[in-house]
Amino acid sequence: MKNKLCLITGATSGIGRATALKLADLGASLLLLSRNEKMGEKICDQIKKGNSNAQTKFYKVDISSMKEVSNVSEKIKADFDHIDVLINNAGARFDQYFKNDEGIELTFATNHLGHFLLTLSLIEMLKKAPQGRIINISSPAHSRGTLEFDDIVAPANYDRRLAYGRSKLANLYFTYELSSRLKNYKITVNAVDPGGVATNFSRNNGIYAWLKHYLSYILQLKLISPQKAAETIVYLASSEDVSKTTGKYFYEKKEINSSPASYSKEAALKLWQISSKLTGSGSL
């Protein structure tokens, strides 16, 4: 991964942080995005202590804010001429109904819409790479998701599990549609099921919600470390074995099938159109 420039959202904790450290060990240069500036500086220092030649740069951004995503995209384009790997990792689930700065339901804005805008804003930089790679982090929760397209922006009856599931389903619609649209370019687009990971996911909802999420995976004997979860992401970012593989869903470095609903081309196209309108991004 030497001379490769990798961008990771949600890079200061959990899977994102573990992925950043593994890619740094492989010699990659890193652009790390997160809301937490203090932790961003800390992980940059940690990487440089392990390798004084490591190249890292931190950008503070709230991925749920379309204004902030647009601003940070312009900063990145001013600082660099290309990106080799884009890892859309940042994610959250909210027990209560919240809206982002633009009045969009926060789970959908954080997990899908911000990454949709970021990816399209930086797509020309990925086209300049010898072989660009885009990796979207989804979840098995996508199988619980349904997309009622008139109920995405401001749902009448908010359900945290449904909201999270539909945002993860949106990740897959985006992956498959983007892969199709980039078929004539040297850019692969794949999605990952990271598994049940021991992170601070859902900690924003309070200690009880976090423990409930954490214990559910322990009881299923499915809890893995962030380092283990990061292995598949690093594999997709670096391995020659998947240099031409696109439009696929991976778990533990193997292709798997996502839910039957996730392969709906009609739904993927409709989501794309809605996402373009909400973000003001151009066509691809």
Statement: residue 22 has pLDDT above 60: yes
> Catalytic residue at 176?
no
The mean pLDDT of 174-181, rounded to a whole number, is: 98
Supply the pLDDT for residue 213: 46
Q: Which superfamily does CATH assign the domain made up of 5-198+224-279 to? A: NAD(P)-binding Rossmann-like Domain (3.40.50.720)
The secondary structure of residue 113, as a DSSP letter, is I
Query: CB 181: neighbour CB atoms within 10 A?
Result: 15
**Exactly one of 59, 97, 158, 164 is catalytic; which is it?**
164
Give yes or no for residue 243 having a pLDDT over 60: yes
pLDDT of residue 222: 55
> What was the pLDDT predicted at 253?
96
Residue with the bigger pLDDT between 225 and 223: it is: 225
In this predicted structure, what is the pLDDT of residue 204?
A: 52
- With 0-12 / 13-18 / 19 or more C-beta atoms within 10 angstroms meaning exposed / middle / buried, residue 54 is middle
Is it the case that residue 220 has pLDDT exceeding 80?
A: no
Residue 77 has pLDDT above 60, yes or no: yes
Per-residue confidence (pLDDT) for residue 45, from 0 to 100:
93
For residue 72, give the nearest of 37, 100, 28, 44 by alpha carbon: 37
- For the record, the structure tokens of 174 come out as 């985006």
- Top-confidence residue, 145 or 208: 145
Question: What confidence tens digit (pLDDT) does each residue in 31-59 have?
Answer: 999 999 999 999 999 999 888 788 999 99
User: Using alpha carbons only, what angle is made at residue 137 by residues 221 and 185, rounded to the nearest 5 degrees?
Assistant: 145
Residue 184, CA distances (Å) to 119, 178, 187, 188, 235 in order? 17, 11, 8, 10, 23
Query: What count of residues does the chain have?
Result: 284
Instruction: Say what the pLDDT of residue 224 is.
Output: 72
Question: Domain ranges in the chain?
Answer: 5-198+224-279
Provide the β-strand partners of residue 56.
30
pLDDT at position 51, please? 81
DSSP helix/strand/coil, 107:
helix
pLDDT-based confidence at residue 196 (cuts at 50, 70, 90): low
pLDDT at 72 over 80: yes
Residue 57, pLDDT score: 96
Report the C-alpha dihedral over residues 124, 127, 130, 136, rounded to 10 degrees: 100
The yes-or-no verdict on residue 103 having pLDDT over 90 is yes
If residue 188 lies in a helix (H) or strand (E), which one and from where to where?
Answer: strand 187-192
Tens of pLDDT, residue by residue over 132-158, are 999 999 999 998 877 777 788 888 889
Mean pLDDT of 111-138: 98
What integer pLDDT is reported at residue 203 of this predicted model? 46
At 205 the pLDDT is 45
- Contacts by 280-284, CB closer than 8 A, 24 or more apart: 280/66, 281/116, 281/117, 281/120, 281/121, 282/120, 284/120, 284/123, 284/178, 284/181, 284/182
Mean per-residue pLDDT of the chain: 90
In angstroms, rounded to a whole number, what is the distance separating the alpha carbons of residues 18 and 32?
Answer: 12
Q: Is 251 helix (H, G, I), strand (E, B) or coil?
A: strand
Mean per-residue pLDDT, 81-101: 95
